[in-house]
Every structure is written in C-alpha cells, then in structure tokens.
Amino acid sequence: MIVKSARMKTSAQGMSSTCRHVFHGSDNEKITVLQGSEFDVKAELGRAKAVGSQYAVRHIKISSYEDMTDEQLFSLVKKYAKEFKADSSKATIVRHDKPRADDKASGHHYHVYFPEVLANGKIMDSSFSKIREEKIARIAEIDFEHKPVVGKHNASVIKDLEKSGQKYYADIIRQNTPSLNPKDAPDSAYSEKQFRRAKISGIALNEVRQTLKELRISSESFGQMIESLDTHNLEIRKGDKANTYIIVNNDNGNVLGSANRLFGMKKQDFNQQYESYLNGHDTKFEPLESITAPISSDEKAPLEKPVEAHIEPNVQNVPSKSAIAPQPQKSGHWLSGINLSSPVPDAGDAHHAVATEGMSQAERQSVHDYNKRESQNKSELEKALLDQKKFAELLLRMEQELSALIRKRYQALPKEPFANPELRDSHYISKSLHGTLDPLRSSYLNKKSRWLSSAKQELRAFNEKIKELRFKEFPGLDILNNQNDYDYVINNMSHLYSSSRQKRHDVWSNNLDVINYVNHKKDIDNLISHIKEHKDTELLQLAIKSPSLAIDRIKMNKAENNNKTDISNTYITHKLSI
C-alpha cells in the first residue's frame, strides 16, 4: 500500500488544476465522491489566506495492490487524522476507478484532502510526514491482510512503533523486511517530475515500466532484453551522473528515468550486466516468469497532470454532500435529485380556421397558410414554455441544493450574536429600556403621590426589573425621583450594552469559519443572481457539474471586463489629453 501526501500552497495555481483532475478527470472510468465536495476543498483556500498560512490543504493519494473496501479506507483516514492531529470528518474523500497497467493490481485508488488550518486556527502537523505515512500504510497492510510492502523508511517505522509500545506491528514489519540497512532501501522507478513531463509528451511511465518488466521476464538473456528496447522505440544512454544509465524515448529524446529502476534491478547488478553486454560477454539468465518484483512504498504515485474534459451535465446523477461523519456515500456529483421530466404546460389552443365550400382556391390557400402559421406559433410557444420551465426548475433545485450544502457544511457554526444591528445601537437600546422601565417607574411615582400610600409593591417590581437587566450601581443618584438622574443612568447603560454586544459580534465576525461562510454565501448568491439576471443556461449547466468552476468563471469574466474598462478609460483619457 502507498500513502503519500503533497501540501497545496495558497500562493500556487495548482489548486484549481488538481481539483479538475480529482473531481472531473477524463482519464478515470469512474469518479465517486465519498465525503465532502470540491467546494469544501476550495473553501480552505480562503481560510488559509485569512490566517496567513502558507498551505491550504494536504492532498493524500492512497493506493493498494489488493482491493480495499470503502469502509477500510475510512478507517485508514481516521488513523491518518489521529496521527497528524486532524479531524477526519473535515476530510474530502474521492475514489477513482481506473485499470492499472499490469491489470492485476487494484483498479481503484483514493484522493483525500485535509484542511491545513485546523478548527482552532493552528496548522496541521507535518513533521516527518513520509515516515509517519509509511507507518500508517504498514499498519493498514497488517490490519487488512494485504501483501507486505518493503518501504524505504521501514527501519524508522519499526523504531517509532517500538517506542510507542506497538511491538506487535513492529515485529511483523521486521519479519517482512529483508534488510534494515538504508543502502538496501528500495528506490522509486521515476520521479513525479519525470512522470508529469512524460505525460505531457503522451507517454504513460507506468505502462512503460510494465512493458519493461514483461520484457525482462520473457527475455532469455540480458542482451536480448536490451536489444528488444528498439522495438519499443526506447534506447539506453549514459546519464549525467557517474555510473548511471538512463532510458530515453527515441522520438523526442525525453528521459524516462533510471534504467535499473525501470527494469526493477539493483543499480550495481544492472551496471555489471550492461557493461558485460557492451564488452560482448555472455549475459544469459533464467527467465523470471514466476518472480514478482517487490513493491516499493516509495514507488511514485504522482498526481497526474489534470485534463479538463468536456462533460455533458447529467442532471439525474448528482448526489448531495455526505454527512460530517465519515461514511460511504453514493457516487456522483454533490447536487442530487434534479429531474426535468415534468409535463409540458398547456400553451393554449391556437385559433383554427375552417375552409367552406363557397371559398375560392385563393381563399382556401389563405386559410391553409393561416392554420400553418398558427400551428408553428403554437409549437414555438410550447417549446419556449418548456425551456423556461426546465430552466426555472433546474435553477430552483440547484439553489435549494447549494443552500442545503452551505447549511450542512457550516452546521457547527456558532450562532450570530445580536444579528439585528438595532440590538447593537445605543439609541435603539435606550428606547427599549425606557419602554420597559418607564411604566414601572410611573406606576411607582403615581402610587407614592397618593395620601398614606407606601407603593412598596411597585417599588419591588421596579427594583426586580433593574436587577434582571443587570444595571450597575450608581451611588448618589436617585433614579426613581430625579428625572435627570434616571435619564443619565438609562443613557449610560445603553452605551454599555451597545459596546458589549458589538464586541461579542466582532469576535463572532472575526471567526475564521464565519469569514469563510460569509464569503462562500456571497459567492453562491452572486452565482444564482447572475444566472437569473442573464438567463445563462451554459453557466447553469456548469454550476450543476461544479459550482466552484462556475463561480471561478464569473470572477474571471468580471476581471476581464474590468481590464477592458481600464484600457478603454486609459485610451479616452489619452485622447482627451491630446
């Protein structure tokens, strides 16, 4: 099993391209969103920028030689979250179904995104991530009864497990590791940079490696294996580094990688065999039919260069965002339940003229032409009404789904304190306090002014309300009998209330999740308003496929229009100055 991660920077442009591949990549047979959404991944960009974090999300790729169930994947994600002190419920999980080059390994792998900025505002732990990720993979192999993989950092993994008291796992990994010497650690067949460069040139390095593996198995001698490279348009050349040989594509001269790594051989063994072949010595060896090269956990599983494919929106295959707890969800897009199979509204009966026996041929032709025009008008009206109804239904349901997504995504958001601005306004609070206390004070003063009346009950009611409102004490002031003192206290308490409430509201407003929520809500509102105002069916279809891409398109178009306006204003100013 391979568990490898990459941290996505806030300053880089790779977020959108990576999301296009993970959520819309055309080179996968099937893409299933198990938890979260593309919207959630891109939302972390705003949170990271708000706290000044260099990284927005951690992108983890998980693949195994044996098939892994979604339940096993979720348990692995929980282990990863526990190891790096993150929250597994905040992870976005996507499964890709795609046949492997050798047709034997599992046909699906997973992409997992974790927010780099945690709920408490701290950054997700990343120290010694390669060793810790290998540890997670080795433990999962034992738990899931998968074939053991010889990792590059197995020695460090064993040491860490023993230190943390997990001797059971450490002993099994030690038994499955031929050598703990760092020099014997497996190397990757090619780097991620080589993988991407080759893919741009139309070369799949994983398929090349599988071809070379099969060539090594079927060849009777090392020399035959080397000579057969020509049939695949490949060639071995001396590398820039000392004692290194590389494999090159003859068509364009691109370097595909280290020869010994691509053939799955130790560097020293390969060099000896190849130099013997160059010197004309016998290089015959037994076929490797039943031998399977050891799997290396450091074998690169690179992020492939995203390919933005044109995908027609499928309005019946769009599920909603999963629950916060990690549970397997249905496949498809995050929007769900859109069904446009509603009956066409009645456009009304068109007027139909009837020809009579006494009409001339010209009159009959006029009646026929009239009825034909009416029939065409009716058909056009029905089509227009149908299109309008479809657009309205689709827009309404998309709006409901987006609102539901926002509510679920931010269901743990603290409630806005004193959301009504009037509750934070001292003038409004003063009027409210007067409205509450004036009747009680007036009742007391009226009762007290009567002959032989104590007004104890009215006084008690006024004092209890003062206590309930948490008025502070004002020594030396008579708020019951002196109108100026009473007005002064009400005004003072109004400002205290206003200041305290505004402070609580400011704390809420500066919460990272609140800032993120406000920005996302604004983006969604702008998207819906734009579609409604411009009746933009193309943008609506894009929003169904990916709301994030639709929002990005609006922003991009707005930026382009602003640039055109600036250029136009500059031109006009220049002309006027002339």
| 334 within 8 A of 317, measured Cβ to Cβ | no
Q: Please state the domain count of the chain.
A: 5
Task: Give the contacts of 282 (CB within 8 A, at least 6 positions apart).
Answer: 221, 276
In a domain, 121, yes or no: yes
Of 266, 278, 261, 202, nearest in space to 233 by CA: 202
Same domain, 207 and 170: no
In a domain, 568, yes or no: yes
On the question of pLDDT at 55 being above 50, the answer is yes
Same domain, 130 and 22: yes
In a domain, 331, yes or no: no
pLDDT tens figures, 520-564 = 888 888 888 888 888 888 888 888 777 878 888 888 877 777 766
**Domain end call among 355, 378, 409:** 409
In a domain, 515, yes or no: no
On the question of pLDDT at 318 being above 60, the answer is no
**Domain end call among 134, 163, 184:** 184
Same domain, 205 and 350: no
On the question of pLDDT at 9 being above 90, the answer is no
Sign of the torsion formed by the C-alpha atoms of 371, 375, 377 and 378: positive
Same domain, 365 and 474: no
In a domain, 24, yes or no: yes
Same domain, 268 and 400: no
Kindly indicate the confidence band of residue 115, based on its pLDDT and cuts at 50, 70 and 90.
Answer: very high
Kindly indicate the confidence band of residue 324, based on its pLDDT and cuts at 50, 70 and 90.
Answer: very low
- Could you give the CA distance from residue 56 to residue 49 in angstroms, rounded to a whole number? 8
Kindly state the average pLDDT of the residues 180-192: 52
Q: Between these two residues, 213 and 303, which has the higher pLDDT value?
A: 213
3-class secondary-structure state, position 57? strand
Kindly indicate the confidence band of residue 425, based on its pLDDT and cuts at 50, 70 and 90.
Answer: very high
Same domain, 180 and 196: no
On the question of pLDDT at 72 being above 50, the answer is yes
Could you give the strand order of the β-sheet that contains 30-35, starting from the edge strand earlier in sequence?
Answer: 2-9, 55-63, 108-115, 92-97, 30-35
Highest mean pLDDT among 253-262, 286-295, 340-349: 253-262
3-class secondary-structure state, position 93? strand
Same domain, 21 and 131: yes
Reported residue count of the chain is 578
Same domain, 39 and 161: yes
DSSP for 141-182, written as a single string = HHHHTPPP-B-TTHHHHHHHHHHTT-HHHHHHHHHT-S---G
Kindly indicate the confidence band of residue 288, based on its pLDDT and cuts at 50, 70 and 90.
Answer: very low
**Domain end call among 262, 278, 294:** 278
Same domain, 273 and 347: no
Kindly indicate the confidence band of residue 200, based on its pLDDT and cuts at 50, 70 and 90.
Answer: very low
What rounded mean pLDDT belongs to the chain? 76
Residue 93 is predicted with a pLDDT of 93
Same domain, 391 and 368: yes
Half-sphere exposure in the Cβ direction for 74 (13 Å, CA): 15
In a domain, 70, yes or no: yes
In a domain, 289, yes or no: no
Domain housing 545 = 520-577
Q: pTM here? A: 0.47
On the question of pLDDT at 190 being above 50, the answer is no
Of 119, 133, 112, 97, nearest in space to 18 by CA: 112
On the question of pLDDT at 487 being above 90, the answer is yes
Could you give the strand order of the β-sheet that contains 245-249, starting from the edge strand earlier in sequence?
Answer: 234-238, 245-249, 255-258
On the question of pLDDT at 342 being above 60, the answer is no
Kindly indicate the confidence band of residue 412, based on its pLDDT and cuts at 50, 70 and 90.
Answer: confident
Residue 548 is predicted with a pLDDT of 79
